[in-house]
Amino acid sequence: MGESGPCGPCTEIHYDHVGGRNAATLVNADSPDVVEIWNLVFMQEADLSLRRLPQVSVDTGMGLERLVSVLQGKRSNYDTDLFTPLLHAIHQRSKVAPYRGGTGVVDQRKVDMAYRVVADHVRTLSVCIADGVHPGMSGAELVLRRILRRAVRYCVEVLQAPRGALASLVPTVTHSLGDVYPELHTEAERIMDVINENEAQFLSSLQQGSRLIHRTLNREDIKHGVFPGDRTRVALDVLSLAELQRLVVPHTDDRLKYQYRLEQNRYGADTRTCTEFPACRATVLALYDGQALVSEVTEGQRCGVILDQTCFYSEQGGQSHDQGYFTRDGLQDVLYPVEDVVLVGGYVVHQVTAADRLKSGDQVHLHLDQGSLSVSQLQQVEQCVNDVISANQTVHSQELPLHTARSIRGLRTVDEVYPDPVRVVSVAVPLSELLDDNTDRRTSVELCCGTHLRRTGAIKDLVIVSERQMVKGISRIIAVTGREATLAVDTTPIPQWQRRELQGRLRALQRSSNTSVRKLETREAAGSAQALLEKNGRKEVFVDWVETDSLSVVMKTVNQLSAASPLSHVMLLAHQRHSGKVLCACQVPKDSTSLLASDWAMAVCHHIGGSAGGSAVVAKGTGSSSDITEALRWAEEFARRKIQQ
């Protein structure tokens, strides 16, 4: 396999939109006029060797939109009938000129680009949400969240569309893609609800951020075009805005801080690209105490740390700095939380409050916070705490002079105010041992004036019941202990790590189920279409019934009949047993003017006590009549009258 995926000798079909010339030199040269529409790869290893695949397959790919553009003689995918109804619907909801297909300097206000972005993104959102993927904070969910927010901004800011416009495009998408993705029909309302809910949250954050920015610009002493860093952090961390990238701070490409690797499966094939957040080992080159460079800082001092290398991204370009911590060689249990990261004259300065002594030349390990805890990490946290509880360790407490307490290694109380003397609480390790600087402390020690148990076993049990991200880099974990933990287990609010794991499995099963349903429906429709063709032949008016409970199957069967007999006017009815409804779908030739599919479906469904809708070519609906034979007769008579007019 090649580094980018399955590779080997390849047969490709390229189409030259200009024609009448030898365009061989433009193949795979990023020419907009010569595009690849299909390929077939004969897969082999990079060293040209061959071996049996774990699953025999043919690696072939076709670009549907590109193929349609060729068939319809269009230079752009967005000029095909896959997109034109959607672009028209967007124009109806906007306050700008209709779509003209402009790019580059021709589209200086980015209006045409906004049309394309919204049309593309709302299709993606509809299919993904119908398939069980929701906007979220990690993985595919995070990608979908960014797609939704980008579409919302183009809708509101460029196209000047009202709130809810994006979700209102879902029925248009459903009409276009519903035959291939039948779940779009059943999930349309939920898709619109998800889009509207996320749009409202984002626009609220955007509005708060805009007010913050304008207040700051009006009230702060902005020097040299620099926006105050504390306000930047509020806007980015709390409001999750990329708005500041449009201010005086230029956009920054932060891809260099990532490392990429290809994960191999057990057959040695590269399966996917993974983003790593590696721990980095570095040497302390200098320390800045706020006034001058120093060689050493002591516990409690705030300082800037300059290293020979770093994996932290500094605050710039409207993006907040990475969050994480240092550990020092030989003192792995003491963390130095990184509070800020700035770029000054080519040096990356990490602002920390020293949890212990730190000096130039020290070796440190840098660790990036990677967002919310994973399922396995939540499980490990819960298990770690329960191990301490099961050990029934003694909880030691003693009042000590404040200066003596602060000498305990790794005690993190730098910015907090405590009385003198102060009560020190330690789990498992007696206070007399903690005062020895060489003690290897493996459990918690804190200053606390509150109430504590005498032994950890009194807690009995701990169950994590929820975990969610509050703002960027800060997560809240809620757990219950003692009797409440027992009740939580007995009354089945399952642990959070297990809930997250099950939710992931459920989404995967839903996607797999939807795919299987589509395949089964396609197979069922193909069988029904073949049987109906053998029964009726290719007639001008093709009216019959099909045995199924699914409107999607009826639609697919009608579509296959129309493909097999392009000149036929096709209508199928079906009796849905569990609801008692009559399902109706029809399709007519594209050049039919006397009989429109929408008129035909609405007339028939009204006759049987229901309603219908659709386009001039394809339509569907439902009714309530139990006499399908009479309904079929009436439908055929209506069609013949219209055709003969």
- The enclosing domain of 460 has a CATH number of 3.30.980.10
193 assigned to some structural domain = yes
Task: State residue 441's pLDDT score.
Answer: 59
Residues 128 and 50 in one domain: no
| Domain-located, residue 261 | no
Say what the pLDDT of residue 261 is. Answer: 41
Helix (H) / strand (E) element for 10: namely strand 10-16
Burial class (CB within 10 angstroms; exposed 0-12, middle 13-18, buried 19+) of 253: exposed
Same domain, 11 and 95: no
Please tell me the predicted confidence (pLDDT) of residue 510. 80
The mean pLDDT value of the chain amounts to 78
Number of helices followed by number of strands (H, E) in the chain? 15, 24
User: Which pLDDT does position 572 carry in this prediction?
Assistant: 94
Provide CB contacts within 8 A for 483, sequence distance 6+: 460
Helix (H, G, I), strand (E, B) or coil at 543: strand
pLDDT tens readout for residues 202-226: 887 777 666 666 666 665 455 555 5
**How confident is the model at residue 370, as a pLDDT?**
58
The torsion of the CA quartet 199, 176, 143, 197, rounded to 10 degrees, works out to 20
Instruction: Note whether 294 and 412 are same-domain residues.
Output: no
Give the domain-ending residue among 312, 336, 368: 368
Global confidence as pTM: 0.40
Domain boundary among 368, 388, 420: 368
The predicted-structure confidence for 67-112, as pLDDT tens digits, reads as follows 998 999 888 899 999 999 999 999 999 999 999 988 888 888 899 9
Note the pLDDT of residue 250: 31
Do 90 and 168 share a structural domain?
yes
d(CA 116, CA 87): 8
What's the CA gap between 644 and 239, in Å, rounded? 64
Q: Is the pLDDT of residue 46 over 50?
A: yes
Are 477 and 576 found together in one domain? no
Same structural domain for residues 207 and 93?
A: yes
Is 329 domain-assigned? yes
Do 238 and 308 lie in one domain? The reply is no
**Which tokens hold the place of 473?**
């880099």
3-state secondary structure 225-293: CCCCHHHHHHHHHHCCCCHHHHCCCCCCCCHHHCEEEEEECCCCCEEEEEEECCCEEEEEEEEECCCCE
Q: Is the pLDDT assigned to residue 251 strictly greater than 70? A: no
Q: Are strands 569-575 and 541-545 parallel, antiparallel or unpaired?
A: parallel
CATH number for the domain harbouring residue 616: 3.10.310.40
The pLDDT-based confidence of 2 (bands split at 50, 70, 90) is very low
Sign of CA dihedral 91, 92, 95, 97: positive
Q: What's the pLDDT band for 240 if we cut at 50, 70, 90?
A: very low
In a shared domain, residues 352 and 405: no
More confident residue, 459 or 58: 459
| 306 belongs to a structural domain | yes
Helices marked H in 4-52 — which ranges?
Answer: none
Q: Is residue 231 part of a domain?
A: yes
* Mean pLDDT score, 562-573: 91
More confident position, 214 or 340: 340
Between CA 351 and CA 333 the distance in angstroms is 20
User: How far is residue 164's CA from residue 155's CA, in Å, rounded to a whole number?
Assistant: 10
In a domain, 190, yes or no: yes
Same domain? For 560 and 482 the reply is: no
Residue 56 lies in a domain: yes
pLDDT band at 601 (very low <50, low <70, confident <90, very high): very high
User: At 477, is the pLDDT very low, low, confident or very high (cuts 50, 70, 90)?
Assistant: confident
As for how many domains the chain has, the answer is: 5
Mean pLDDT score, 497-510: 73
Is 252 part of any domain?
no
Residues 6+ apart with CB under 8 A from 92: none
Confidence check: pLDDT of 273 > 70: no
Domain span at residue 342? 276-368
C-beta separation of 259 from 223 below 8 A:
no
Structure token digits, residue 365:
């390990």
Residues 156 and 224 in one domain: yes
**pLDDT score of 410 more than 50:** yes
Q: What is the DSSP letter of 511?
A: H
* 124 and 48 belong to one structural domain: no
Residue ending a domain, among 471, 500, 529, is 500
| pLDDT attached to residue 128 | 93
Are residues 294 and 384 located together in one domain of the fold?
Answer: no
